[in-house]
């Protein structure tokens, strides 16, 4: 270092090196500081994501050793053989054709890659093995939401009597493997619940087998990770993992067709009629508008048909809507991580959490939070960019406040 001409240059070089080391360290630190970032692969919550996470440390250490070794050697040669002013500029002794060196630097990276491949292929095989006693769910992406068809009966079909369909929120039993068959209704999407497994592409006309499992009850957030158009960033999903006995109760409720609203709930009865007239061309409510949907399917002229929009049969059993981006209910009791701990009441809103915080998923057992769903019915494209005129997303139906009140009252009965 003693031969740099100016002391200022020396200071600048040392300072920029120090800055580089600090920034680089901060970047790595942030990546591992996962409390602030919900979508991280570095905080696994189930066996499959743990397998992937177990690969991170060894591969990172190997990569780090290569990085330090190569950069260290470059630095050494730069400093050791730099031009020193008084040297004559003859070329140093050349090593071209040095067989031993060339064999060595070919074999060494080969060994490094072989070790990484050995570790990785083992995990890939483990991740694609079939799981005994797994729950099977067909997952499909659509612009811009997720649908789920459960094989409850275990006959390897997803539409037998007793099988169920839902959207955006995937409810699973804790501690049981769930095998997913992932596909798409339109363009390529990608299904990703980072706490439970890596990413899997949803490709139209194909099925991708995938699996997830959660070790503890809770909400695990996800995000579509393949650019799929206008509202790609608003195509979220979440997994609610609940204890096995609660899951059985949930399934039993989901297997029921939607009940008519009680006759004394006049708002909801009027809302049901509005639903049949306004919403039923796209949204299915099992037991209410199946026949209309079937007719619309036969009418090719009709621009939108069921299947282009989420099944709303048990809408109110979800805590979020519109691709998991808005809370439908108040989220969680304050300070309670479990979505299935104590629920909050309208009289005691302090324990309900902040319903405008979309980082907290709404708890379906909590009271309805009206502002988002009302705004949504008033003007959906203002709440989430969509292209309804092209059959993608929900149009603005120019509803009156009376119609909105009626529809919200009806949706609130779909438990
Ligand atoms: Cu679906 Cu991005």
Residues paired with residue 150 on neighbouring β-strands, in sequence order: 137, 164
- Checking if the pLDDT of 163 tops 60, the result is yes
Q: Reply yes or no on whether the pLDDT at 223 is more than 60.
A: yes
Task: Say if residue 176's pLDDT is above 70.
Answer: yes
Query: For residue 87, what pLDDT is reported?
Result: 65
Q: Is 228 in the pocket of ligand 1 (CB under 6 A)?
A: yes
CA distances from 333 to 289, 339, 398, 404 (A): 36, 8, 35, 28
* Residue keyed to tokens 């790609």: 232
Residue 95 has pLDDT above 80, yes or no: no
Residue minimizing CA distance to atom 1 of ligand 1 = 189
Ligand 1 neighbourhood includes 235 CB (under 6 angstroms): yes
CB 412 within 8 A of CB 316: yes
Look up residue 220 and give its two tokens: 């695990």
The burial class, CB within 10 Å (0-12 / 13-18 / 19+), for 227 is exposed
226 lines ligand 1 (CB under 6 A): yes
Sequence ranges of the domains in the chain: 1-33, 34-128, 135-254, 266-328+368-411
Question: Which atom from ligand 1 is nearest to the alpha carbon of 229?
Answer: 2
pLDDT value at residue 410: 95
Q: Following DSSP, what letter does each residue of 309-364 receive, concatenated?
A: S---TTGGG-SEETTTTEESB----TT---TTSSPP-GGGGGGG--TT-TTSPPPT
How far does residue 110's CA lie from ligand 1's centre (Å)? Answer: 37
For residue 200, which phi and psi values (nearest 5 degrees)?
-135, 125
Judge if the beta carbon of residue 232 lies within 6 A of ligand 1. Answer: yes
Q: Record the pTM.
A: 0.85
At 306, is the pLDDT very low, low, confident or very high (cuts 50, 70, 90)? Answer: very low
The string of DSSP codes covering 162-221 is T-EEEESEEEEETTS-EEEEEEESSS-EEEE-TTT--EEEE-BT--EEEEE--SSSEEEE
Q: Which CATH number fits domain 34-128: 3.30.360.10, 3.40.50.1110, 1.10.287.90, 3.30.2270.10?
A: 1.10.287.90
Atom of ligand 1 nearest to the CA of 188: 1
Half-sphere exposure in the Cβ direction for 309 (13 Å, CA): 25
Question: Longest Cα pair distance anywhere in the chain, in angstroms?
Answer: 102
* pLDDT for res 85: 73
12: pLDDT strictly greater than 50:
yes
Same fold across 34-128 and 266-328+368-411:
no
In short, whether 392's Cβ falls inside 6 Å of ligand 1 is no
Which numbered atom of ligand 1 lies nearest the CA of 189? 1
Q: Which of 325, 320, 290, 327 is nearest to 307 (CA)?
A: 290
Q: What is the mean pLDDT of residues 364-376?
A: 93
How far apart CA 256 and CA 239 sit, in angstroms, is 22
Q: Which of 19-23, 101-105, 329-333 has the highest mean pLDDT?
A: 19-23
Q: Which tokens hold the place of 192?
A: 């990703």
Helix (H) / strand (E) containing 146 = strand 145-151
Overall CATH class of domain 266-328+368-411: mainly beta
Tell me the CA distances in angstroms from 21 to 1, 16, 57, one per residue in order: 19, 9, 20
Res. 342 pLDDT band, cuts 50 70 90: low
Helices (H) and strands (E) in the chain, counts: 9, 12
Measured CA to CA, the distance from residue 349 to residue 364 in angstroms comes to: 15
End-to-end Cα spacing for the chain: 74
Q: Which CATH superfamily is domain 135-254 in?
A: Cupredoxins -  blue copper proteins (2.60.40.420)
212-221, 237-246, 280-289, 294-303 — which is least confidently predicted?
294-303
- What's the pLDDT band for 378 if we cut at 50, 70, 90? very high
Percent of the chain with pLDDT over 90: 62
Ligand 1 atom at minimum distance from 226 CA: 2
């Amino acid at each position: 270092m003693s031969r740099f001409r100016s002391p200022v240059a020396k200071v600048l070089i040392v300072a920029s090196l120090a800055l580089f080391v600090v920034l680089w360290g901060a970047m790595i630190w942030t990546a591992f500081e996962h409390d602030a970032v919900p979508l991280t692969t570095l905080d696994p919550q189930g066996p499959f994501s743990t397998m992937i996470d177990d690969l991170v440390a060894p591969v990172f250490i190997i990569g780090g050793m290569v990085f330090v070794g190569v950069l260290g050697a470059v630095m050494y040669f730069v400093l050791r053989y730099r031009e020193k002013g008084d040297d004559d500029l003859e070329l140093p002794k050349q090593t071209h054709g040095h067989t031993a060196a060339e064999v060595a630097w070919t074999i060494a990276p080969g060994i490094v890659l072989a070790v990484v491949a050995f570790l990785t292929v083992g995990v890939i095989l483990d991740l694609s093995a079939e799981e005994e006693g797994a729950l099977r769910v067909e997952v499909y992406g659509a612009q811009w939401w997720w649908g789920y068809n459960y094989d409850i009966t275990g006959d390897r079909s997803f539409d037998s009597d007793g099988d169920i369909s839902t959207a955006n929120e995937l409810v699973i039993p804790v501690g049981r493997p769930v095998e997913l068959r992932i596909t798409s209704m339109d363009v390529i999407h990608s299904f990703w619940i980072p706490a439970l497994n890596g990413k899997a592409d949803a490709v139209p006309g194909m099925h991708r087998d995938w699996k997830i499992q959660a070790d503890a009850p809770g909400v695990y957030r996800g995000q579509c990770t393949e650019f799929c158009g206008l509202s790609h960033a608003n195509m979220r999903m979440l997994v609610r993992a609940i204890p096995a006995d609660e899951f059985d109760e949930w399934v039993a409720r989901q297997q029921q067709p939607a009940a008519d609203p009680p006759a004394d709930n006049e708002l909801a009865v009027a809302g049901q009629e509005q639903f049949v007239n306004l919403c039923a061309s796209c949204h299915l409510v099992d037991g209410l508008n199946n026949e209309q949907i079937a007719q619309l399917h036969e009418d090719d002229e009709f621009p939108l048909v069921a299947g282009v929009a989420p099944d709303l049969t048990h809408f109110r059993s979800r805590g979020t809507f519109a691709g998991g981006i808005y809370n439908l209910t108040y989220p969680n009791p304050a300070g309670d991580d479990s979505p299935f701990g104590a629920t909050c009441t309208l009289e005691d809103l302090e324990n309900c959490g902040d319903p405008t915080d979309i980082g907290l998923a709404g708890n379906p057992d909590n009271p309805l939070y009206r502002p988002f769903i009302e705004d949504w019915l008033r003007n959906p494209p203002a709440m989430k960019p969509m292209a309804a005129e092209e059959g993608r997303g929900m149009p603005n139906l120019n509803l009156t406040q009376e119609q909105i009140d009626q529809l919200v009252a009806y949706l609130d009965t779909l438990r």
